[in-house]
Amino acid sequence: MTKLRLYLTINYAFSAFSGTTMLLFSEQLNQIFHFSDPLLFPIIGANLLVFAVFVFYVTGWQIEKSGLVKLISLMDAGWVVGSVFLLLFGPFGISPIGLWIIGIVAVWIGFLGYKQYSNL
């Protein structure tokens, strides 16, 4: 398995896991993050599952198309930028543990995006 394929595989597996977790445990996540919107985590989770399917497709059948891999890395960068915004400005009254989770996931996604891009 090439390094690029490895990092893309980790990306889609983590995205699928995260999306499924958000769909199945949205009430618990709302409590952890101090959110009250019952649709927030299911919407993010469903979008993560769509992203995971896209990354899975690229990994299996389109990995030679560097533009698609760059797009995935760009979307990862967008996640990181959004996370940094949440961490810096705290616009929604996110709990301290929620902020830690956002920060840890942002570092992880940033790492995956960087490794994907650098292994093109």
Print pLDDT tens along the chain (120 aa). 699 999 999 999 999 999 999 999 999 999 999 998 999 999 999 999 999 999 999 999 988 889 999 999 999 999 999 999 999 998 889 999 999 999 999 999 999 999 999 998
Full domain range(s) for residue 77: 3-118
Positive or negative: CA dihedral 46, 21, 11, 104: positive
With contact defined as beta carbons under 8 Å apart, do 15 and 49 qualify? yes
Count Cβ atoms below 10 Å from residue 69 Cβ, excluding itself. 22
Model pTM greater than 0.85? yes
Contacts of residue 43, defined as CB under 8 A and 6 or more positions apart, other chains included, come to: none
In this predicted structure, what is the pLDDT of residue 21? 98
Number of structural domains (the chain) is: 1
